[in-house]
Amino acid sequence: MKKNSLSDNRSKSGTKGFYAALGISAVMIGSACFFAHNQGEKLPDRKSSLSQTAVDKKSDNIPKTTGYSFTVTTTPATQQRIIVTTQAPTKPKKVVTLPAAEIVKDVSAEAVTDSAEKKLPVSTDKLENVNLPLKDCSNVLSPYSGGELVKNATTGAWETHNGTDLKAEVGAEVYAVSAGEITSISNDPLWGVTVVLDHHNGYVTRYCSLGSDLAVQEGDTISGGDLIGVVGNTADIESAAEPHLHFEIKHNGKYIDPLSVLNT
C-alpha cells in the first residue's frame, strides 16, 4: 500500500507551524516580562522625582480668601507684670499718743489759771478795762465826722472821716485799748501800716499810720495796755496833716466815735 505523500507533507508542515508559533509566543512573553521588569525598576525614581518637584515648586498666584481672618498677638508674661509707678510712695502717718498725765494737765486748774490772764471779754455792752492808745490823747487834729462829709486836706475831696486823728510825734508808742486778738496787719495803700484788733465782744479797733516796726503779729492775743507799735506817719491819704495816729472803733460792724469809748 502506498503512503499518501500529500498527507505526510501536510502533517509535516502542520507540525513545523505549531512549533514556530510556540517559539514566537515564548519570545513575546519573555520580551514582555523583561520590559515590565525594567519599567518596575524605573517607577521609584519617577515617583521620587515627582515628589521632589511638588515640594520644590512654589505657587505665587494663590487667590486671597474672602472670609474673615483673625490675628492673635500674645504678650510675653514678663511684660504683663511691668508696673509703672507715677507717684512717690507716701510715708505712713506718724501717730503720736500723749500720755494720760499730759492730757489731764491740759485741763487742770493750773492751765485754766494761766489762760485766764489772756481771756477775752464777753460783754457786748462796752470795752472792758479801757486804756488810751497814746499817753496823751488830748490833741485832736481831726474828729470823727459821724457820717457827715468833711474836706480832706490832702486830697481836697469831701468825704466822711470814720476815725479820730490824735496828734503825736513820730515814734510815739501806741497801745491796745482793751484785750483782744490781732486779726490783721497790713500796709494799706491809703492808711499805711495798719493793725486790726478784734475784742470778740462786738468791738473792733483799728490803728492806722503806724511805723513798720511793730510789737505784735497776726494771731497774737494781747491785753489792754499792751504795746502795739509806734506812730509812723505812713497814711498817704492824710499826709498833709501833722504826724498823728488815725484811730477807729467799730461796734457790731458800725463806726462809732472813738472818744465816746475812751472817755477823754
Q: Name the residue with higher pLDDT: 240 or 88.
A: 240
Q: What grid cell was written down for 99?
A: 500720755
Q: Which fold has domain 140-262?
A: Glucose Permease (Domain IIA) (2.70.70)
pLDDT above 90 coverage of the chain, percent: 50
Q: Name the residue with higher pLDDT: 136 or 72.
A: 136
Q: What is the dihedral of CA 100, 103, 107, 112, to 10 degrees?
A: 130
Whether 226 has a pLDDT exceeding 50, the answer reads yes
**Please, which residues have CB within 8 angstroms of residue 126's CB and are 6 or more apart in sequence?**
261
* pLDDT at residue 221, as a whole number: 97
Q: Name the residue with higher pLDDT: 101 or 244.
A: 244
pTM: 0.55
Can you give the residue ranges of every domain in the chain? 140-262
Q: Is 140:121 a contact under the CB 8 Å cutoff? A: no
Whether 65 has a pLDDT exceeding 50, the answer reads no
* pLDDT at residue 23, as a whole number: 74
Q: What grid cell was written down for 108?
A: 487742770
* pLDDT at residue 128, as a whole number: 85
pLDDT above 70 coverage of the chain, percent: 55
Whether 56 has a pLDDT exceeding 50, the answer reads no
Q: Name the residue with higher pLDDT: 39 or 139.
A: 139
Q: What average pLDDT is seen over the chain?
A: 74
pLDDT digits (tens, 9 = 90+) for 85-138: 445 445 554 444 434 433 333 434 344 344 444 555 555 567 888 999 999 999
Whether 70 has a pLDDT exceeding 90, the answer reads no
**Among the listed residues 126, 141, 122, the one whose alpha carbon sits nearest the alpha carbon of residue 249:** 126
Count of other CB atoms within 10 angstroms of residue 114: 10
Count of other CB atoms within 10 angstroms of residue 193: 21
pLDDT digits (tens, 9 = 90+) for 154-211: 999 999 999 999 999 999 999 999 999 999 999 999 999 999 999 999 999 999 999 9
* pLDDT at residue 50, as a whole number: 40
Whether 38 has a pLDDT exceeding 80, the answer reads no
Q: Which helix (H) or strand (E) holds 142?
A: strand 140-142
Q: Name the residue with higher pLDDT: 259 or 64.
A: 259
Residues 139-167 have a mean pLDDT of 96
* pLDDT at residue 183, as a whole number: 98
**Among the listed residues 170, 172, 146, the one whose alpha carbon sits nearest the alpha carbon of residue 160:** 146
Q: Is 179:118 a contact under the CB 8 Å cutoff? A: yes
Q: Name the residue with higher pLDDT: 7 or 22.
A: 22
